Chain A
Amino acid sequence: MTLPPGAETTLKSVALKGGAVVCGVADAAAFDAHAPAGHRPADLLPGARAVVVVGGAAPREGDWAATSPWVLSTMGTTERIQSVGRRLAQWIESEWGYYALFVPPGTSSGDQPFVSLMLAAELAGVGSRSLAGPVLNREHGFMYWSAVITTAPLAADGPEAEPACPAPPCREMWEREGTTPCLRVCPLSDGGCLDGRIANGRAERTGYDAARCKTRVHTHWVPGFQKVLETTLDEPDRDKRKMLLYGDFMTRTLWAITYSSTNIAQCFECMRVCPAAHGLKEMR
């Protein structure tokens, strides 16, 4: 069975009708130059030819403007776009008869993903890496990603020629103040995670504390749970153990990791201030 004419257009239409804001196709082989062995599409699905990437489910302006950081962490989940990815995989198999593997959003080992969704989005031409790290779409900014690996011989879109970052206001701020909104909110030199610069109009990352970023992104998630559990197990005093176990940190973490109040990646501060991610749109 071969693909019908205009297959890529049809597939993107199905994705957009299903709830995606953007959809692109990456060449499965293009991952080889960027991802280590074991984290490439064909490692997961032998014979993979293409990776279909969908993006969407961005936070609303009310979420960005919330006074509590826990609003974005609870509302900004990947689940809505994952359901689009799952439906797309089902559609490819039932309509075209090619294998279609929904890339699991979890980890394959430790904290490592099966396949990098950020890399997939870049290679599919629906986003580009920002100075802060997350992949941003030129038109829609910050969004969540989902991907489907398939043996279908879809034509790839290829990476974007022009990145979303740096946005014009960030270039101006760099000229004026020697910093950008993301670098200012989370500076590596002052207990934060990011360092970088804008040179010749291009954002260039020069430093990144990934370990600290993880404490902020996964505060009340699996890493936070392991840290407080370790501290509790090391505590010889029974009463102090109780304070740790029943305290706010452990309680909130357990609500999160048991999906009682869905809460996965939690630090949005570099994205909250980023004009390319969502800007500052005034509402009434």
Chain B
Amino acid sequence: MGVFALDPEVYRRYKDEVLALSNSFQKIHQPGLSDKQIAERLGLDERTVTEIRCVAERDCYPLDEWQRAIEFKRKAALEWAALALKRPDLKPE
């Protein structure tokens, strides 16, 4: 028996709903649901929901957003250093 591999069609169909209901991403005013609770609500089995959630957690943004993260952090760190150390020359262009 191999590793449980999710059917891509099932993933595409349910990923938005699972992610919206899950506790993976911090909610503002209420806690998310457990995989078991989501499974009961959507009529799926728990393991399928777990796999949908895990894949979806990683599938929200393309790799380009990771590069943007690097650029954001480099700029923000320099801006703070310029302010904290009173070194305006450190400010990024």
Contacts and interface: CB of A to CB of B under 8 A. Distances in A.
A69 B33 contact: no
A228 B74 CA distance: 20
A176 B81 CA distance: 24
A109 B35 contact: yes
B10 interface: no
Given A36-B32, A37-B36, A266 B73 contact: yes
Interface string A197-213: 00000000111101110
A122 B85 CA distance: 33
A145 B23 CA distance: 20
B66 A272 contact: no
B63 to A, nearest CB: 5
Contact of B66 (A68, A192, A224): A224
Interface string B16-45: 000000011110100111111100000000
A44 interface: no
A111 B32 contact: no
Interface residues of B, number: 39
Contacts of A215: 61, 65-66, 68-69
Interface string B48-90: 0010011001101111011111101110111011011100001
A229 to B, nearest CB: 10
A215 B72 CA distance: 11
A112 B23 contact: yes
Interface residues of A, number: 48
A109 B54 contact: yes
| Most chain A beta carbons < 10 A, residue from B31, B60, B63 | B63
B76 A269 contact: yes
A273 B77 CA distance: 10
A65 interface: yes
Interface in A30-49: 34-39
Interface string A61-94: 0001111110010000000000000000000000
